[in-house]
Structures are given as structure tokens and as C-alpha cells.
Amino acid sequence: MSSSGEKIQSDFEDAVQVHHEIATNEKIKFQIIDLAERCVSALNEGSKIIFAGNGGSFADSQHLAAELISRLQFDRPPLPAVALGTNSSSTTAIANDYGYEQIFARELSVIFRPGDVYIPISTSGNSKNILLSVKIAAERGLHTVGFTGEVGGDLAKMCTCIKIPSSRTERIQEGHILVGHVLCAQIEDQYFSKS
């Protein structure tokens, strides 16, 4: 096998190993169950799910919000969810006028409603704009659960975190979308089981 082939095989095996560790981690399973129940409770009260992240985590936050607004497993009515930072005019204005650290906090402080659930996503757990938004969420009383890597960074000191058992950015991001899909499936199943 060529060196490229060996590297590809190694990457596949590493990804499978991380997914296996997630699948066999009882703490992560219980965290997903608890978060899904919190989200369903919020939705039942007319509240929404709010996501945020930078870079690949920004893409994940949009992706997961879309799974709730559109559909994941079956046709059903939309569920209220939003990804912070998706209005590029607001984001660039806030970054220019107040600093990049403020882009999520400023938006969150005006769109939140009591009872909303906040899910910030950061592979390192140290993104300043995410940390500032979590501080705002705590001040507003939002139930917050972060998605991060195995170390957790400062985010894990500020809120409960679902930690992907890896220190590699790409493995953490793959784990986040896996956990996010499982979470969204649980929310769908639980919310619409009453129908």
C-alpha cells in the first residue's frame, strides 16, 4: 500500500475508533438523553433551540438548526431553532463596531427568550466569542450544554459539556455532527410521539 493509502486507512481507523468510543460512552448517552428532554420541554413551552460555533462548528450549528426546522427522519411540522451569526450583515457590523468576541453574545442577548436552550459548539472550548455568549446565556438563565473536545477548555468550566473523546479537530467535528444528529433524532421522536 502506498504512503497515501496508509494515511487514508489510518484516518478511517482513527475516525471509527472515536465513533466507537462515543457509542460506548454511557455518560455521553445520558447527556444526550437529558439534553433531548430539556429541548423537548423547551419546545413544548414555545421556546427554541439556539446553536452557535465558528468555522466548521458554525457549519455544524447551521446544519443542526436545519435538521430541526426542516426534517430529519420523517415529515413533520418545523421545530423552532436558530444558528447565531447567520445574518452576515449583523455579524460583520457587530465585529466591526464592537469586536469579533461580541458577535454571538450581542445577537443572543436580543433574540433569546426565557426557556430557550443554548448549544454552543467549540472544538477547543476556548473560542472567546463562544465563551462570552455562554456568560450572557448564564446571566439570562438559559439552559446551556456545550459540544467540545476531550479537554473541554474554558467552556467546560462554564457549563455542562458533551466532550468528544479526541484532541484532533477533524475527529471532534465528526463526533459533534454524530452526536448532533442523534440529539435531533431524539428530539423529533420525543416531541412528535405525542402526535
Q: What mean pLDDT is predicted for residues 66-82? A: 97
C-alpha cell at 15: 475516525
- What is the per-residue pLDDT for 2? 80
Asked if residue 195 has pLDDT above 70, the reply is no
Q: Grid coordinates 429541548 are at which residue?
A: 39
Q: How high does pLDDT run on average in the chain? A: 97
For residue 164, the SS3 value is strand
Residue 187 has pLDDT above 70, yes or no: yes
Torsion (CA) 128, 52, 170, 163 in degrees, nearest 10: 80
pLDDT value of residue 194: 64
Q: Taking 80 as the threshold, does the pLDDT of residue 93 lie above it?
A: yes
Mean of pLDDT values over 63-77: 97
As a whole-number percent, the residues of the chain with pLDDT over 70 amount to 98
What is the pTM for the complete model shown?
A: 0.96
Kindly indicate the confidence band of residue 136, based on its pLDDT and cuts at 50, 70 and 90: very high
d(CA 189, CA 191): 6
Mean pLDDT of 52-63: 98
What is the dihedral sign for C-alpha 42, 43, 46, 47?
positive
- List, in order of start, the domains of the chain with CATH numbers: 49-192 (3.40.50.10490)
The fraction of the chain above a pLDDT of 90, given in percent, is 96
